[in-house]
Amino acid sequence: CQDYYHPCTKHCNGAEKDCPQFCLCLEVVICPSCSISASRMVVMDQYMIQSDPWDAKIIRLNNMLQFLSIFCDILAIFNNDFRDASMLLDCMAEISYCTIQACMVTQVHIEKQHRGGGGNGAKAGFEEVPVAEARPYEEVPV
């Protein structure tokens, strides 16, 4: 997770330096949401972009749906009346998760294209960007 999520990376013990391709593969397979979020944070840090306030609200909504889904799944184990609600919340949580992850990947891709990084893997690494060129996102009025 490019050292942005310590729970994922603290067990690597430097293995990511010796075998980065293998660690990247494990990261994407085992914790894809952390991988996508960390990639987004790297781009935001690199280009000094501020997160939109609505990003945090949407991510919190997703986290709440995930929690409610798990809670309802547990209730459905003990009470069959919760099974339909559990299935509905599972579907809503999955749609929310996939949509938000797709938005994060798209944000990274578009920003890399805008900055000349290609966004398609054609150019490895991040380019240095002068401070004056950084374009923080404007706050959206509520």
Residue 15: its pLDDT value, please?
Answer: 63
Please give the single-letter amino acid code of residue 118: G
Dist CA 23 CA 1 (whole Å):
9
The per-residue pLDDT string of the chain (142 residues; one tens digit each, 9 = 90 and over) reads: 455 555 555 556 666 677 778 877 877 888 888 888 888 888 888 888 888 889 989 999 999 999 999 999 999 999 999 999 999 999 999 999 999 999 999 999 998 888 876 555 444 444 444 444 444 444 444 4
Residue 115: its pLDDT value, please?
Answer: 83
